[in-house]
C-alpha cells in the first residue's frame, strides 16, 4: 500500500489540491458550498494521483538512471509496471468520473485536460526539447481553473488570470528544481534547459524574465476587482522579493542560489494565494 501511495506523489497532490481549493473559493459567488468543495477536492486528488502514477509508469526506465528517482517503486522493483498502469488508469478514471457525476462536466473537462497535457505532451517532450518546461507549465497551472469551474460552472477572464499567474510561477520554480538535479536529468537523457546549459547562463536569464513577468502580472487581480488593495501591496512585495532571489541567481549561478530560489518560489505561492483568498472582493 505504501508503494502505491508513493506512485501518486502525495506532496505534489496536496499542492494541486490547495490551488484547486483557492480557485473554488475565489470562484464562489456568495457563501462557499463546502460539500461541493469537498467533492471537488476528492475528485481532483484522485485524478491528480492517478496522472502522476501514470507518469511514473511512462518514465520508469529513465527514473532508474537518476539518483533522485531510482528508489521509486517501479525502478526499485517494488511494484510491477502492469500494477502501476492498472492503478493509475483506475484512480484517474475514478476521479474524472466523480467530478463529472457529482460536481459538473466543466470541472471534469479541465481536469481531463490536465491529465492529457501532462501525460501526452509534457512527459514525451521532456527528452526531446528544452521547451518542455513551457508545455509542462500548462497542466501545472490548471488546478485553480478546475476549482473555479467547479464553483461557477463557467470560465471567465478571472479564471484565465489565475491560470496565467500559476503558469508564470511554474517557470522559475521548475527551472530552479531542474538546476538542482541537472546532472541527474542529463544522465537520464532529459532535455530540460538546465541539463543542456551547464553554466546556467540561459537558464538564469529565463528565470529572471519570468520572475519579472510574474511580478507584474500578479497585480492584475486587484486591477480586475478579484482581490483588494491589501493583496496588491502584498503581491508587489512578494514579487519583488522573488525577483531579488532571481537576480542573485543570475549573478552567482550557484546551486545554493538555485535552491534558495526554489524554496522562495514556494513561499511566494503560499503568500500569493493565501492573501488573494483573504482579500477576495
* pLDDT by position in tens, the chain (length 281): 899 999 999 999 999 999 999 999 999 988 899 999 999 999 999 999 999 999 999 999 998 988 888 999 999 999 999 999 999 999 999 999 999 999 999 999 999 999 999 999 999 998 888 888 899 999 999 999 999 999 999 998 999 999 999 999 999 999 999 999 988 888 888 888 888 887 888 999 999 999 999 999 999 999 988 899 999 999 999 999 999 999 999 999 999 999 999 999 999 999 999 999 999 86
Q: What are the distances in angstroms from CA 188 to CA 67, 73, 121, 130, 218?
A: 10, 17, 18, 14, 35
Q: Which run of H or E residues covers position 231?
A: helix 229-252
Burial class (CB in 10 A: 0-12, 13-18, 19+), 200: buried
**What pLDDT score does 37 carry?**
97
pTM greater than the 0.85 cutoff: yes
Q: How many helices (H) and strands (E) does the chain have?
A: 16, 0
Amino acid at each position: 500500500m505504501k508503494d502505491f501511495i508513493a506512485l501518486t506523489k502525495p506532496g505534489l497532490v496536496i499542492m494541486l489540491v490547495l490551488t484547486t481549493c483557492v480557485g473554488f473559493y475565489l470562484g464562489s459567488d456568495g457563501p462557499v458550498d463546502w460539500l461541493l468543495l469537498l467533492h471537488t477536492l476528492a475528485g481532483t486528488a484522485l485524478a491528480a494521483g492517478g496522472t502522476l502514477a501514470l507518469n511514473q509508469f511512462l518514465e520508469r526506465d529513465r527514473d532508474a538512471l537518476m539518483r533522485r528517482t531510482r528508489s521509486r517503486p517501479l525502478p526499485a522493483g517494488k511494484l510491477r509496471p502492469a500494477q502501476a498502469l492498472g492503478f493509475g488508469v483506475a484512480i484517474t478514471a475514478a476521479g474524472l468520473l466523480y467530478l463529472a457525476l457529482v460536481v459538473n462536466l466543466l470541472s471534469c473537462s479541465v481536469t481531463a485536460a490536465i491529465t492529457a497535457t501532462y501525460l501526452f505532451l509534457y512527459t514525451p517532450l521532456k527528452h526531446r526539447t528544452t521547451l518542455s518546461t513551457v508545455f509542462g507549465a500548462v497542466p501545472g497551472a490548471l488546478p485553480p481553473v478546475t476549482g473555479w469551474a467547479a464553483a461557477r460552472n463557467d470560465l471567465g477572464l478571472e479564471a484565465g488570470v489565475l491560470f496565467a499567474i500559476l503558469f508564470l510561477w511554474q517557470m522559475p520554480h521548475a527551472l530552479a528544481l531542474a538546476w538542482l538535479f541537472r546532472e541527474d536529468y542529463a544522465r537520464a537523457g532529459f532535455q530540460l534547459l538546465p541539463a543542456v546549459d551547464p553554466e546556467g547562463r540561459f537558464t538564469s536569464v529565463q528565470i529572471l524574465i519570468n520572475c519579472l513577468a510574474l511580478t507584474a502580472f500578479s497585480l492584475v487581480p486587484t486591477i480586475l476587482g478579484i482581490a483588494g488593495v491589501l493583496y496588491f501591496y502584498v503581491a508587489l512585495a512578494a514579487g519583488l522579493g522573488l525577483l531579488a532571489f532571481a537576480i542573485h541567481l543570475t549573478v552567482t549561478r550557484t546551486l545554493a542560489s538555485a535552491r534558495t530560489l526554489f524554496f522562495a518560489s514556494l513561499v511566494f505561492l503560499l503568500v500569493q494565494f493565501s492573501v488573494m483568498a483573504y482579500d477576495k472582493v
